[in-house]
A = this chain, B = another copy of it.
Amino acid sequence: MTVGAISIGEAARQSGVKVPTIRFYEQIGLMPAPPRSEGNRRQFDEKDLSRLSFIRHARELGFEMDDIRELLALTEQPQRSCHEADSIAARHLREIEMRIAKLQALSGELRRMVEECGHGKVCECQVIHVLADHGKCRSDTH
C-alpha cells in the first residue's frame, strides 16, 4: 500500500462523516473521486480530510449543499475577496433567525395548548380542539 494513504473507514473516523455518506458526496461531486489502490480501494489524503471536516461542520451549522459547494469553491481561491462567503453566511443567518422566530411562535401555541388541556376526555381536549380549529390560535404565523 502507498504510505500515508487513508482508507475510507479511517477518513470516516477522523472526519466524523460516515462511510456511505463519503461515497455519496463523491457521487454527487461534492468530494473529488480519490485515486484507488490496486485492490480498488479509495485512497484519501489530508486535503480530503480537511474538505470532509469542512463539509461536516457546515452541515452541522445548517448550510445547504449548494451553499457548501460555493463555500468550498471559495476556499480554493484564497486571494479573492471574502465578500461572497460573508453574504452566504449572512443570508443563512437570516434564514435561521426566521426559523427560530417561527418555531418560537409554534412552541408558544403548543405550550398554551398543553397547559389549557384539562386532562379530561378527548371531546373536551384543548389539544384536539386547537388542532381542529385554526381560529383558536393566537398567532398568525402559520
Contact = CB atoms under 8 A, between A and B. Distances in A.
Interface of A: 50, 53-54, 57-58, 60-62, 71, 74-75, 77-83, 85-86, 88-90, 92-93, 96-97, 99-100, 103-104, 106-107, 109-111, 113-114, 117, 119-125, 127-128, 130-134, 142
A98 to B, nearest CB: 10
Contacts of A85: 117, 122, 125, 127-128
Interface of chain A: mostly helix, strand, loop or mixed: helix
What copy number does this chain have within its complex? 2
Contact of A89 (B58, B120, B127, B142): B127
A29 B128 CA distance: 20
Given A119-B83, A124-B82, A71 B131 contact: yes
A117 B86 contact: yes
Given A61-B142, A96-B107, A99-B103, A86 B125 contact: yes
Contacts of A114: 86, 89-90, 93
